[in-house]
Amino acid sequence: MQLPILKGAGSSPLAIDLAIIRGSFAAALRERGYKPSTISIYLVVLCRAARCLAHGRGSLTALRREDVPSLLRRLLRRCRDRHYRQTCRSPLYAWLRFHGRFATPAPIFPWQSWLDDYAHFLADVRGLAPITCTAYASCARAFMDWQFGKERAHWSQVQATDLWRYGESFASAEGHQPSYTNRTFSALRQFLSFVHLRGACSPQLEYAVPKIFNYGRSASSDFLSDRQRRQLLLSFDLRSATGRRDHAMALCMIDLGFRAIEVARLQLSGIDWTRKELDVPAAKASRGRRLPLPRHVAQALRIYIDCWRPISACPQVFIGHCAPVNRPVTPKVVQAAMHRAYQRCGFPESWCGTHRLRRTFATRLYVRNVNLKQIADLLGHRHITTTTRYAQTDIVGLRSVALPWPH
């Protein structure tokens, strides 16, 4: 694909944009492992965008993320192809990341200090994982924005009726399931408990947060049967590097009880091939643990590392195979890989996440008469009460045990 030819010379904004696109930006894409064909497409799109902005006396160097939708409408005025629209959006986002302007800064409100202190409390005092801290802080921000808006936080004016009205508006929002609403309200209670700890509100305010009855909750078990487990493991394409990687990640979760974040953090140095053991990295509030390495899991890891994993100095076991390469996978990549496997197996569309695999591991041990304390140690739980929510009873399996009443 041939790049547009720059007409004229000088130090105009257009000339500066094109020089950066073809120079340092293209070099950055090559360093991150992008294919030459992808780099050519990115450069063509960005050159077109730079010329489009130059007609309005704009500059691609000054592009902001909120400007991308309007720029795409100008570039794709007569195009209705969704795939081509995504083809144009990706180079613009890569350009913003190159300039460090991809993330949209959160607005600053007079009550921002409460959220900052709460984030430090969750991370430093409670020792929660970054993803959990982000989720809790997001729930707190939503309530603060609803309650105080752009005003200062006056906790003495917050009444129980305010929490009831907020709960009603949140629960009635489109797409909010009862289980998700209850998790959000639980996070809000913890935030109000922190506010009370700071002496700013009454201790009764925490208990005013409503609870939602989940009458429509499914009675189906939240784990895979033996047949579904075999079907899932057979759904990966073992003839590709990505399939080998995803298959090994699935084995770590369904046969070792890993969390998605533990899969992403697993390091090459943590695998002891001689003793058949591996070190599970610390995640959430756990300190890490050492687990025995079953033969079939060790074989899957060995084949992936020796034959399919790209040569990289990255210490993590599982890395990306698409640009940008040589970077460790994230928990979202692990979850997306399992979600694609669910779809290939024809599992219900509502199935998402990876905790279903972790519960499968605990349930399979539980039905084999492994006690809860041992299961808790393997899962990295500090309290057995947490483990009881993972080790579930196979109701369908129990029906085969029940015998008809003799006549």
Angle subtended at Cα 242 by Cα 236 and Cα 247, rounded to the nearest 5 degrees: 40
CB atoms within 10 A of CB 297: 19
Q: Between 166 and 287, whose confidence is greater?
A: 166
DSSP assignment string, 60-91? GGG--GGGHHHHHHHHTTT---HHHHHHHHHH
How far is the CA of 389 from the CAs of 179, 287, 392, in angstroms? 15, 21, 7
**Residue-wise pLDDT tens digits, 75-130:** 887 666 666 667 888 899 999 999 988 876 666 789 999 999 999 999 888 888 78
> Residue 407's pLDDT is what?
53
- Is the pLDDT score of 7 beyond 50? no
Q: Which two tokens stand for residue 147?
A: 């309650």
Fold of 112-207: DNA polymerase; domain 1 (1.10.150)
* Cβ pair 319, 309 in contact under 8 A: yes
* Cβ pair 285, 128 in contact under 8 A: yes
Give the separation between CA 405 and CA 407, rounded to whole angstroms: 6
- Is the pLDDT score of 214 beyond 70? no
Sign of torsion, CA 320 326 332 335?
positive
Q: Which CATH class is domain 226-356?
A: mainly alpha
- Is the pLDDT score of 255 beyond 80? yes
Q: Between 288 and 360, whose confidence is greater?
A: 360
**Residue-wise pLDDT tens digits, 341-359:** 999 999 998 888 898 999 9
- For 172, the 3-state DSSP assignment is coil
CB atoms within 10 A of CB 22: 15
Question: Where does 208-272 have alpha helices with state H?
Answer: 226-233, 241-254, 260-265
> Residue 106's pLDDT is what?
64
Strands (E), 173-322: 271-272, 277-280, 289-292
